[in-house]
């Protein structure tokens, strides 16, 4: 059995690691070389994502294909799917890669989303601001991630500046959501229709980038049930096999608002590696190769994950990295590094995970451990 992976970042790397554990081979496809996933895969194919000949050759080498990011060109995913099954089905890519289609789709199937207004011109933006009021946030319809391609608008007079900042690209204006917390739910669905889920997971962002994820999320069972049902509904309606994640806001007045769908493993699900009987990456592997979903029960009552960004690398240690011996003097905190040689601000270099009985204690220990990276490195 050989799994093909479109994309070669840390998500592909962790899938390749789990595949190797099960003696399943992986072939990764991306324009890069010596990539995080390529370092642990059996074969690393280096070609442009829109090189359809290379895509066909790659598809012929493997038994099933998945992807680790939603910006894979749709045509490439469809061409690959003609040769070898691609999971989740590429129809979700068309939805998940475009914020307008994503929100419209969720709204159509009854999942509440933030009020939104498609924007293709400054006039559209002004009209949208009249309808939705301020504050609001303007986001490029495609290719924004980790807060890139987003501008918060707090005054109508900022419209022109915001439209220029976003590069005058097709965008969506969203009403500002006063949220109490952000949560995510991951769902795994197998080829027999079996479904299981993780979460809700509570997520804290810093500078629009995921910072810390924790379980339990501290939301009531009504919110948790609704969030899980939303994920199940999307997977069933689109007959998706594999793994997806939906990120939600829980508003200060107790409503659940869906923000984004990721049809792949998610950064907030990294805590499932140590925290659950089956990790999100094993679920991805199991479901796409035709195995039933695995047991997604948490191993202990609490678990947390803290991202390690390039920002926290000690300056003088950019090449050799932090002094892990001192940072990890307490052996309960687990380290994952992604094999990226250059530490840039905002770049995800790795993460820390800790399981325990108490969420607050887990969070405090993770943050204290992370703080030592800069100090001790
Ligand atoms: P996104 O790229 O849509 O995931 O947005 C990144 C982060 O910006 C989210 O995780 C929120 O913290 C914040 N954000 C995005 N959209 C909104 C909104 N409509 N209202 C309030 N905060 C938002």
CATH number at residue 74: 3.40.50.20
β-bridge pairing 2-6 and 64-67 = parallel
Are 200 and 261 in the same domain? yes
Question: Which atom of ligand 1 lies nearest, measured to the CA of 136?
Answer: 19
- Kindly state whether residue 99 falls inside one of the protein's structural domains: no
Ligand 1 atom nearest 144 alpha carbon = 2
Residues 14 and 144 occupy one common structural domain:
no
153 with 212, same domain? no
* DSSP conformation class of 313: S
Domain count, the chain: 3
Answer yes or no: do 185 and 303 share one domain: yes
Domain boundary among the residues 175, 207, 227 is at 175
pLDDT score, position 375 = 61
> 259, 260, 267, 307: which to mutate for ligand 1, most atoms within 8 A of CB?
259
Whose CA is closest to atom 1 on ligand 1? 147
Which residue stretches of the chain are H helix? 10-21, 52-61, 74-83, 91-96, 99-108, 122-132, 159-165, 221-237, 272-275, 280-289, 324-327, 359-376
- What is the model's pLDDT at position 144? 75
Pocket of ligand 1, beta carbon within 6 A: 114, 137, 144, 147, 174, 176-177, 182, 205, 208, 259-260
- Per the listing, tokens 């359809």 go with 52
Q: Which ligand 1 atom lies nearest to the CA of residue 150?
A: 2
Which residue's C-alpha comes closest to atom 7 of ligand 1?
A: 208
The string of DSSP codes covering 255-298 is: -EEEEEEESS--GGGGGHHHHBSS-HHHHHHHHHHTPPPPP--B
pLDDT of residue 318: 52
Q: Are 120 and 24 found together in one domain?
A: no
| Domain range for 308 | 179-375
Can you tell me the distance from the alpha carbon of 145 to that of 140, in angstroms, rounded to the nearest whole number?
10
pLDDT at 311: 86
Same domain, 145 and 6: no
Q: For residue 371, how many other CB atoms are within 10 A of its CB? A: 13
Ligand 1 atom at shortest distance from the alpha carbon of 203: 10
User: d(Cα 12, Cα 19) in Å, to the nearest integer?
Assistant: 10
User: Quick check: is 91 in a domain?
Assistant: no
**Which of 127, 128, 135 has its CA nearest to residue 152?**
135
Q: Which residue has the tokens 């899938």?
A: 15
Residues 169 and 43 in one domain: no
Q: What is the CATH number of the domain that holds 264?
A: 3.30.470.20
Tokens of 351: 């993460």
Instruction: For residue 141, tell me if it sits in a domain.
Output: yes
Q: For residue 177, which of 98, 256, 261, 268 has the smallest C-alpha distance?
A: 256
Distance from Cα 153 to the centre of ligand 1, integer Å? 13
Two tokens, residue 82: 């003609």
Looking at the CA of residue 210, tell me the nearest atom of ligand 1.
10
Same-domain pairing of 63 and 30? yes
Is the Cα torsion angle 362, 20, 193, 61 positive or negative in sign?
A: positive
Q: Considering only CA atoms, which residue is closest to atom 5 of ligand 1?
A: 147
pLDDT per residue of the chain (377 residues) written in tens, 0 to 9:
999 999 999 999 999 999 999 999 999 999 999 999 999 999 999 999 999 999 999 999 999 999 999 999 999 999 999 999 999 999 999 999 999 999 999 999 999 999 999 999 999 999 999 999 999 999 999 987 777 789 999 999 999 999 999 999 999 999 999 999 999 999 999 999 999 999 999 999 998 899 999 999 999 999 999 999 999 999 999 999 999 999 999 999 999 999 999 999 999 999 999 999 999 999 999 999 999 999 999 999 999 999 999 988 876 655 567 888 888 988 999 999 999 988 888 999 999 999 999 999 999 999 999 998 876 54
Q: pLDDT (tens digit, 9 = 90+) per residue, 165-212?
A: 999 999 999 999 999 999 999 999 999 999 999 999 999 999 889 999
In ligand 1, the atom with minimum distance to the C-alpha of 247 is 4
Give the pLDDT of residue 17. Answer: 98
Ligand 1 mean position, distance from CA 154 (Å): 15
**279 inside domain:** yes
Longest CA–CA span in the chain (Å) reads 59
Q: Specify the ligand 1 atom closest to the Cα of 174.
A: 19
The CA 139 to ligand 1 mean position distance, Å, reads 9
Residues 136 and 272 in one domain: no
Quick one: 171 and 151 in the same domain?
A: yes
Ligand 1 geometric centre to CA of 253 (Å): 17
Task: Give, for ligand 1, the residue of 71, 248, 249 to mutate: max count of ligand atoms closer than 8 Å to Cβ.
Answer: 249
Question: What is the secondary structure of 131-159 as a DSSP string?
Answer: HH-SSEEEEESBS--TTTTEEEE-SGGGH
165 in the same domain as 55:
no
Any idea what the CATH number is for the domain that residue 133 is in?
Answer: 3.30.1490.20
Inside any domain, residue 346: yes
109 assigned to some structural domain = no
Query: Are 168 and 186 in a shared domain?
Result: no
């Amino acid at each position: 059995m050989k799994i093909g992976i479109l994309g070669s970042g840390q998500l592909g790397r962790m899938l390749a690691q789990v595949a190797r554990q099960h003696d399943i081979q992986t072939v990764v496809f991306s324009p890069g070389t010596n990539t995080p996933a390529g370092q642990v895969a059996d074969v690393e194919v280096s070609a442009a994502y829109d090189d359809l000949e290379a895509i066909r050759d790659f598809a012929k080498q493997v038994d099933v294909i998945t992807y680790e990011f939603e910006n894979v060109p749709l045509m490439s995913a469809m061409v690959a799917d003609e040769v070898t099954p691609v999971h989740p089905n590429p129809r979700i890519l068309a939805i998940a890669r475009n914020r307008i289609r994503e929100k419209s789709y969720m709204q159509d199937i009854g999942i509440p989303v933030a009020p939104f207004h498609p924007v293709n011109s400054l006039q559209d933006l002004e009209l949208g601001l009249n309808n939705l009021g301020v504050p609001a946030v303007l986001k490029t319809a495609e290719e924004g991630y980790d807060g890139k391609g987003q501008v918060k608008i707090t005054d109508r007079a900022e419209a022109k500046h915001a439209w220029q900042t976003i590069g005058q690209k097709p965008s969506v204006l969203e009403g500002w959501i006063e949220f109490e917390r952000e949560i995510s739910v991951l769902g795994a669905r197998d080829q027999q229709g079996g479904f299981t889920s993780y979460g809700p997971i509570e997520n804290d962002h810093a500078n629009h980038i995921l910072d810390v994820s924790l379980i339990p999320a501290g939301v009531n069972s009504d919110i948790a049930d609704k969030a899980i049902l939303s994920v199940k509904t999307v997977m069933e309606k689109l007959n998706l096999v594999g793994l997806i994640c939906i990120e939600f806001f829980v508003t200060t007045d107790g409503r659940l608002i869906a923000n984004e769908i990721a049809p792949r493993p998610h950064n907030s699900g990294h805590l499932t590696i140590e925290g659950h009987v089956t990790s999100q990456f094993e679920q991805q592997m199991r479901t796409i190769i035709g195995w039933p979903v695995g047991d997604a029960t948490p191993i202990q009552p609490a678990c947390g994950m803290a991202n390690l960004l390039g920002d926290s690398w000690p300056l003088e240690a950019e090449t050799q990295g932090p002094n892990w011996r001192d940072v990890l003097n307490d052996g309960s905190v687990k380290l994952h590094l992604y094999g990226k040689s250059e530490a840039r601000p905002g770049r995800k270099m790795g993460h820390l995970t800790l399981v325990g009985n108490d969420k607050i204690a887990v969070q405090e220990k993770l943050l204290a451990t992370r703080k030592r990276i800069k100090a001790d490195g």
